[in-house]
């Protein structure tokens, strides 16, 4: 399904009206209130400003009264909040009140950013783009609050993709977390994860002079195609090439995102299409659903088939969401190395720690942009794809899966999923959390202490495996892009060699921490991984 065909049964005027149905005064006001709460909480957590406590609570269960003054215009935000460990803030959204010269004003998240832009340190040339991402985030929030959604009690028994599509917040700390700059209103309804619309990939034949296929040793190119497409579809694509007097042996079949095809490839790669270095083959039969990471897709037609991840050149959360064709060449090899390491570690086996292997990749290079630009550019990351194992092919019949990010989910009425899960499990809260941390944090710390190996263990990169609503083990994903070995002298095979990174001794403080100091170790892990992944993204390797 493409962005506009899903509305083709409606008159044009109705199509245009449909895509703005969520932009109502009530929903926009709610989206702004929730977003201002998040902005205050996250910027205060980052210590960009410090709200002033004006009234202490009378008991531990109550919240304190705070105010936050803007640098100018006599603007003050009043709210009730509880300061938690590690400088986290729990703010009562309904309590937030904005006054200017003592007169109450409506909450406006864009206005909030403008009022605090100097405090936030956003460069003038980047401010309009940031504001556009904020606007898009509000747009998304209003959409999610329009839909009826799935009640928390129903999510307790929901399947993987129902849970994935029901998520309300996205990244819990990133304030402009739903930017999606590049999507129009129809694209949003077709491709945003919260829309949960079926997506069918465009398939192209890519000439081997510019395309590269890589896979784990046990998986051949032909086997991958037959498992993901079926032999009859592969034969049909092959016959298309023969009918155009093209040799199928000179081409690799690869999927691309329909938005990428329509908005980037048909223009920027027009020379390749004209010279038959790229050949359009058609639309795939299987339906896919966009995951929270937006460029990874789950096969809803055949859930045990592999995920597909593709380049998607939209700006989201500060990065253009391309996919490097250069990095694709080593990705399966990195996954093979790590899978063997995990399999041979008895401690990790006892924890049930596993990974979803990225088993095959295709990268296509644009020689014009390679010749023109020596450094990194998003134009070099517009055509690549990878296949990743599905967790549903790796679990037992009595098990369910969900992303760890879902633990933070609240429905549109503010009801939280996590307390409902703990209650349904029949366990005490402490025991449930103990099992969760043993499944999730303990194996990560073991990898850190034993191998100097760190992951980017955020909620969307971890798949929880549940029995009776309780975590029993986890799958780690997004392996090749988001792991690092913090020992420059580590003895690694050729393909994982790029994972080595030399940290200053002062940063390797986890070596002086006891293994039981999970909070300190986890904080260190997140800090250093953020530094390294940002470095690799900026250098073009990720």
Determine, yes or no, domain membership for 307.
yes
530 sits in the region (left: phi over 0; alpha: psi -120 to 50; else beta) called: alpha
| pLDDT score of 520 more than 50 | no
| pLDDT score of 532 more than 90 | no
| pLDDT score of 169 more than 50 | yes
In angstroms, the first-to-last Cα distance of the chain is 29
- Least confident residue range of 15-24, 128-137, 286-295, 517-526: 517-526
Work out the percent of the chain whose per-residue pLDDT is above 90: 78
CB atoms closer than 10 angstroms to residue 197:
19
Residue of 127, 145, 183 lying closest to 35 (CA atoms): 145
Tell me the average pLDDT across 474-484: 88
- Least confident residue range of 224-228, 399-403, 435-439, 536-540: 536-540
Which H/E stretch holds residue 438?
Answer: helix 429-451
Contact partners, residue 513, CB within 8 Å, separation at least 6: 520, 521, 524
Residue of 381, 347, 328 lying closest to 453 (CA atoms): 347
* Overall residue count recorded for the chain in this entry: 542
Tell me the average pLDDT across 415-435: 97
| pLDDT score of 521 more than 90 | no
| pLDDT score of 378 more than 90 | yes
CB atoms closer than 10 angstroms to residue 49:
16
Tell me the average pLDDT across 202-213: 99
Residue 475 has a pLDDT of 97
Residues 379 and 413 in one domain: no
Work out the percent of the chain whose per-residue pLDDT is above 70: 91
Determine, yes or no, domain membership for 210.
yes
Torsion of CA 67, 72, 73, 79, to 10 degrees: -10
| pLDDT score of 266 more than 50 | yes
Residue 463 has a pLDDT of 97
Residues 122 and 68 in one domain: yes
CB atoms closer than 10 angstroms to residue 393:
12
Residue 508 has a pLDDT of 63
| pLDDT score of 536 more than 60 | no
Q: How far out from the chain centre does Cα 321 lie?
A: 10
Could you tell me the CATH number of the domain that includes residue 495? 1.10.510.40
- For the chain, what is the mean pLDDT? 91
393 within 8 A of 418, measured Cβ to Cβ: no
Residue 237 has a pLDDT of 98
Q: Which domain holds residue 381?
A: 185-393
Residues 274 and 135 in one domain: no
pLDDT band at 344 (very low <50, low <70, confident <90, very high): very high
What tokens appear for 219 in the block? 């998986």
Domain boundary among 335, 366, 393: 393
Residues 452 and 432 in one domain: yes
pLDDT band at 12 (very low <50, low <70, confident <90, very high): confident
HSE value, Cβ hemisphere, 13 Å, CA-based, for 285:
12
What tokens appear for 14 in the block? 């109705």
CA–CA distance from 63 to each of 57, 58, 80, 257 (Å)?
Answer: 6, 9, 6, 47
| pLDDT score of 498 more than 90 | no
Residue 501 has a pLDDT of 78
Residue of 211, 33, 189 lying closest to 108 (CA atoms): 33
Residue 490 has a pLDDT of 84
Residue 456 has a pLDDT of 84
- Least confident residue range of 72-76, 138-142, 257-261: 72-76
Residue 540 has a pLDDT of 47
- Least confident residue range of 249-253, 295-299, 520-524: 520-524
Q: How far apart are CA 432 and CA 426, in angstroms?
A: 9
Max distance between CA atoms of the chain, in angstroms, equals 82
Residue 517 has a pLDDT of 45
Q: How far apart are CA 204 and CA 266, in angstroms?
A: 12
Determine, yes or no, domain membership for 7.
no
Contact partners, residue 476, CB within 8 Å, separation at least 6: 353, 354, 355, 356, 455, 457, 461, 462, 463
| pLDDT score of 518 more than 70 | no
Tell me the average pLDDT across 436-457: 93
Tell me the average pLDDT across 199-210: 98
Domain boundary among 335, 368, 393: 393
| pLDDT score of 141 more than 80 | yes
Residues 364 and 231 in one domain: yes
**DSSP-derived pairing of the beta strands 354-355 and 470-476:** parallel
| pLDDT score of 340 more than 90 | yes
Determine, yes or no, domain membership for 173.
no
Residue 57 has a pLDDT of 86
Q: Domain total for the chain? A: 3
Determine, yes or no, domain membership for 178.
no
Determine, yes or no, domain membership for 14.
no
Helix, strand, coil share of the chain (percent; to 5)? 45, 20, 35
Contact partners, residue 392, CB within 8 Å, separation at least 6: 160, 303, 304, 401
What tokens appear for 390 in the block? 């599905």
What tokens appear for 529 in the block? 């991984």
Contact partners, residue 69, CB within 8 Å, separation at least 6: 52, 75, 76, 77
Q: Tens digits of per-residue pLDDT, 280-325?
A: 999 999 999 999 999 999 999 999 999 999 999 999 988 889 999 9
| pLDDT score of 49 more than 60 | yes
Residues 243 and 272 in one domain: yes
| pLDDT score of 528 more than 90 | no
Tell me the average pLDDT across 3-31: 85
Residue 491 has a pLDDT of 85
| pLDDT score of 507 more than 70 | no
**Residue-wise DSSP of 348-389:** HHHHT-EE--EEEEEEE--HHHHHH-SS--GGGSSSEEEEE-
| pLDDT score of 495 more than 80 | yes
Determine, yes or no, domain membership for 180.
no
471 within 8 A of 435, measured Cβ to Cβ: yes
Tell me the average pLDDT across 96-105: 97
Q: How far apart are CA 6 and CA 366, in angstroms?
A: 32
Residues 329 and 429 in one domain: no
Domain boundary among 393, 418, 452: 393
Query: Coil, strand, or helix at residue 446?
Result: helix
- Least confident residue range of 76-85, 297-306, 331-340, 527-536: 527-536
**Residue-wise DSSP of 450-484:** HH-EEE---GGGEEEEEETTEEEEEEE--TTTSEE
| pLDDT score of 431 more than 70 | yes
Residues 251 and 389 in one domain: yes
Tell me the average pLDDT across 264-280: 99
Could you tell me the CATH number of the domain that includes residue 51? 3.30.310.280
What tokens appear for 78 in the block? 């009043």
Residues 229 and 375 in one domain: yes
| pLDDT score of 424 more than 70 | yes
- Least confident residue range of 9-13, 295-299, 338-342, 349-353: 9-13
Determine, yes or no, domain membership for 179.
no
Residue of 343, 350, 336, 532 lying closest to 452 (CA atoms): 532
Residues 382 and 417 in one domain: no
Residue of 518, 484, 488 lying closest to 504 (CA atoms): 488
| pLDDT score of 168 more than 60 | yes
pTM over 0.85: yes
| pLDDT score of 63 more than 70 | yes
Q: How far apart are CA 420 and CA 374, in angstroms?
A: 53
Residues 373 and 432 in one domain: no
Residues 118 and 46 in one domain: yes
Q: For 256-276, give the secondary structure using H, E and C.
A: ECHHHHHHHHHHHCHHHHHCC
């Amino acid at each position: 399904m493409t962005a506009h065909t899903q509305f083709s049964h409606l008159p044009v005027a109705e199509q245009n009206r449909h895509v703005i149905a969520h932009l109502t005064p009530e929903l926009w006001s709610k989206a702004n209130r929730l977003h201002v709460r998040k902005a205050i909480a996250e910027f205060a957590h980052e210590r960009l400003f410090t709200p002033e406590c004006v009234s202490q609570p009378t008991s531990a269960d109550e919240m304190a009264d705070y105010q936050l003054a803007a640098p100018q215009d006599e603007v003050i935000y009043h709210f009730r909040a509880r300061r938690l460990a590690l400088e986290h803030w729990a703010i009562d959204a309904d309590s937030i009140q904005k006054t200017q010269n003592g007169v109450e004003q409506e909450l406006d998240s864009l206005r909030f950013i403008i009022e605090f832009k100097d405090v936030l340190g956003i460069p003038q040339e980047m401010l309009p783009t940031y504001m556009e991402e904020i606007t898009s985030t509000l747009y998304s929030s209003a959409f999610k609050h329009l839909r009826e959604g799935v009640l928390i009690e129903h999510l307790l028994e929901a399947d993987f993709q129902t849970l994935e599509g029901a998520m309300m917040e996205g990244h819990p700390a990133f304030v402009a977390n739903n930017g999606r700059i590049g999507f129009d209103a129809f694209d949003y309804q077709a491709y945003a994860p919260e829309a949960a619309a079926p997506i069918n990939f465009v398939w192209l034949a890519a000439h081997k002079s510019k395309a590269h296929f890589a896979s784990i040793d046990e998986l051949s190119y032909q086997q991958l195609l037959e498992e993901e497409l079926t032999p009859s579809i592969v034969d049909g694509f092959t016959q298309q090439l023969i009918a155009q007097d093209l040799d199928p042996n000179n081409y690799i079949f690869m999927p691309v995102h329909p938005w990428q095809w329509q908005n980037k490839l048909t223009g920027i790669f027009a020379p390749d299409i004209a010279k038959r270095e790229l050949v359009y083959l058609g639309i795939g039969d299987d339906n896919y659903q966009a995951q929270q990471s937006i460029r990874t897709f789950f096969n809803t037609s055949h859930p045990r088939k592999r995920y597909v991840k593709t380049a998607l050149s939209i700006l989201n959360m500060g990065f253009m969401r391309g996919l490097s064709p250069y990095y694709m060449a080593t990705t399966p090899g990195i996954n093979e190395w790590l899978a063997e390491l995990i399999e041979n570690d008895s401690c990790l086996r006892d924890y049930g720690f596993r990974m979803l292997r990225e088993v095959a990749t295709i990268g296509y290079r644009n020689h014009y942009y390679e010749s023109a630009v020596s450094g990194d550019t998003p134009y070099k990351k517009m055509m690549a794809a990878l296949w990743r194992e599905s967790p549903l092919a790796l679990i037992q019949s009595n098990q369910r899966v969900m992303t760890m990010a879902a633990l933070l989910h609240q429905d549109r009425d503010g009801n939280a999923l996590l307390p409902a899960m703990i209650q349904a499990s029949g366990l005490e809260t402490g025991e449930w959390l103990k099992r969760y941390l043993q499944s999730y944090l303990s194996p990560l710390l073991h990898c850190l202490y034993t191998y100097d190996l760190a992951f980017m263990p955020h909620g969307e990169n971890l798949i929880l495996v549940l029995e009776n609503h309780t975590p029993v083990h986890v799958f780690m994903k997004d392996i090749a892009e988001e792991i690092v070995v913090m020992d420059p002298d580590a003895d690694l095979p050729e393909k994982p060699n790029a994972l080595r990174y030399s940290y200053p001794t002062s940063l390797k403080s986890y070596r002086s921490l006891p293994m039981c100091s999970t909070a300190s170790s986890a904080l260190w892990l997140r800090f250093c991984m953020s530094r390294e992944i940002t470095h690799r993204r900026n250098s073009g390797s990720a």
